[in-house]
A and B are shown apart, each in its own frame.
Chain A
Amino acid sequence: MGLSPRPDANVVSIDPQSQESWVTTRLDFLVNWGRANSLWPMPFGTACCAIEFMASAASKFDLARFGMERMSFSPRQADVLICAGRVPFKLAPVIRRIWQQMPQPKWCISMGACASSGGMFDNYAVVQGIDTIIPVDVYVPGCPPRPEALIYGIMMLQKKIMAERMADKSLRNEMEPDPTSQLYIPPRLIDELSEPFGNSVHQTRSGL
């Protein structure tokens, strides 16, 4: 498979001689606290999940409790891309460009079964999960997820943000897929892994 994590991925080493004193860890906390509690979402709603997303933003569920009262309809001022709904192949370059336009730090929530995996739309037109195009931080399952589920996903993202460390420079690296990296899966292997099971292998029902 060739799939093993980077050797330094989960190792937090604190060198007593380094500059990372308690002041910088407190600064980490302050920055993360500020970021986590003022996330500005960029809604990318393409289907029914967007209706649930609107419900989460409306008064009954009220995303503003988490500092998200400002929906950012411009990617330039957004922190978190919330992809709500299926993404057809025709929209694939669009969502990738939106993601590239968002300034760092940025996060992504994939909301619903279709955005996360293609869902029931296992056909010629729909991207099988937006993580084939852009990196995703939190997946929210459901078809569509209830607003509580989305809010739970956002709280998980906030937890993730609170755990970030400025000393870890790799968090903000934007990588194009690198064939020499250990995390790179070649297209041939992806096709092998995504080979469907059962009857759905032969989708031509006309007997041709």
Chain B
Amino acid sequence: MSTPFLPVVAGHAEGAGAMIPVTPRNVPHHGGPENPAAAALRAQFAAAVHRVGVVWGGTTVIVERAQVNAIVRWLRDDPSQRYDYCSDVTAVEFRDMERAIEVVWHLRSLPFRRFLRLKALIPRGEALVVPSIWDIHKGVDWLERECYDMFGIRFEGHPDLRRILMWEQYKEGFPLRKDFPLRGRFSRSEQLRQALAQNPEAKYSMEELSIAEAFEDLPAEMQQRLSTGERVGE
């Protein structure tokens, strides 16, 4: 926790000969140059990389579900990759009941100005469980909770996997699944009764209500200021 804060300059790892980024023109729908991370992943995790596709210039790597955590960690730590920002975690379910549910991670390498999309497939009939990458990118905390809330996909290793958009006692299921009716499963009056029965103040866990446990992790000067009774963040 004592690493000094450094401003991030996008593309600073590309070196002096880096090109000024321009909007790409004439990008083919399928095919085109692959992200170099795809070849590196094939070399590093040969068994775990199932397929690589390039669509509209963006590279998608379909990987083995169980290996996601290791792959994301390697992509972050390898000096030639440095995917240090996970901008989105979501899932896709198709109307085709034969097609697998896809869990999607959007990774961005700020030093190299690269974008990589990782996908893991969960075939129909299998348990909707994927490893969490919360231990690598802390920012995916709420993204994984939202994905769990909307699709029912469990992220193993997430410290606090609860509903985030719907209330905690929500009983109707997972709203973005294809078998979920648009109006919900219950009648309007039952929905209203359940909604009014919830306690609006019972949404926060003890960790959210108290920063006491995080006190040791705070920077020294903030610890000093807080200990003198100053209130911050208001």
Residues of A within 8 A of B (CB): 89-90, 92-94, 96-97, 122-125, 127-128, 132-133, 187-188, 190-191, 194, 196, 200, 203-208
Contact of A204 among B97, B181, B190, B196 (CB under 8 A): B181
Q: Mark interface residues in B194-208 (1 if CB within 8 Å of A CB, else 0).
A: 011111100000000
> Inside 8 A of A187's CB, which chain B residues have their CB?
187, 189-190, 193
Contact of B192 among A92, A123, A208 (CB under 8 A): A92
> Inside 8 A of B199's CB, which chain A residues have their CB?
93
> Inside 8 A of B172's CB, which chain A residues have their CB?
124
Instruction: List residues 79-93 of chain B with CB under 8 A from any CB of chain A.
Output: none
Contact of A92 among B180, B182, B184, B196 (CB under 8 A): B196
> Inside 8 A of B192's CB, which chain A residues have their CB?
89, 92, 127, 132-133
Give chain B nearest CB distance to A163 CB in angstroms: 31
Inter-subunit contact B181/A203 (CB<8 Å): yes
Known: A191-B188, A194-B188. A89 touches B195 (CB 8 A): yes
The reply to whether the CB of B29 lies closer than 8 angstroms to some CB of chain A is no
Which 10 pairs from chain A and chain B are nearest by CB? A124-B184, A187-B189, A203-B182, A89-B195, A206-B178, A92-B195, A203-B181, A191-B187, A93-B200, A208-B179
Inter-subunit contact A94/B200 (CB<8 Å): yes
Contact of B179 among A92, A124, A206 (CB under 8 A): A206
> Inside 8 A of B180's CB, which chain A residues have their CB?
124, 204
The reply to whether the CB of B40 lies closer than 8 angstroms to some CB of chain A is no
Give chain A nearest CB distance to B29 CB in angstroms: 27
Inter-subunit contact B183/A122 (CB<8 Å): yes
Assembly CA distance A125 to B97 (angstroms): 25
Number of interface residues of B (CB under 8 A): 27
The reply to whether the CB of B167 lies closer than 8 angstroms to some CB of chain A is yes
Contact of B183 among A133, A188, A203, A205 (CB under 8 A): A203
Assembly CA distance A122 to B188 (angstroms): 10
Inter-subunit contact A90/B175 (CB<8 Å): no
Q: Which residue of A lies closest to B194 (CB)?
A: A89
Inter-subunit contact A90/B183 (CB<8 Å): no
> Inside 8 A of B181's CB, which chain A residues have their CB?
124, 203-204
Assembly CA distance A204 to B178 (angstroms): 7
Give chain A nearest CB distance to B233 CB in angstroms: 20
The reply to whether the CB of B132 lies closer than 8 angstroms to some CB of chain A is no
> Inside 8 A of B30's CB, which chain A residues have their CB?
none
The reply to whether the CB of B231 lies closer than 8 angstroms to some CB of chain A is no
Known: A89-B195, A93-B199, A96-B196. A124 touches B182 (CB 8 A): yes
Give chain B nearest CB distance to A130 CB in angstroms: 11
Knowing that A96-B196, A124-B183, A208-B179 are A-B contacts, what are 20 other residue pairs whose CB atoms are under 8 Å apart, sorted by A's residue number? A89-B192, A93-B196, A93-B198, A94-B200, A122-B183, A123-B182, A124-B172, A124-B180, A124-B184, A124-B191, A127-B195, A133-B192, A187-B187, A187-B190, A190-B189, A194-B188, A200-B182, A203-B183, A204-B178, A206-B97
> Inside 8 A of B220's CB, which chain A residues have their CB?
none
Assembly CA distance A206 to B124 (angstroms): 15
Give the interface centre of B95, B172, B192 by most chain A CB atoms within 10 Å: B192
A-B contact pairs, 22 of them (CB 8 A): A89-B167, A89-B192, A90-B166, A90-B198, A93-B195, A124-B182, A124-B184, A127-B192, A132-B192, A187-B187, A187-B189, A191-B188, A194-B188, A200-B182, A204-B178, A204-B180, A204-B181, A204-B182, A206-B97, A206-B178, A206-B179, A207-B95
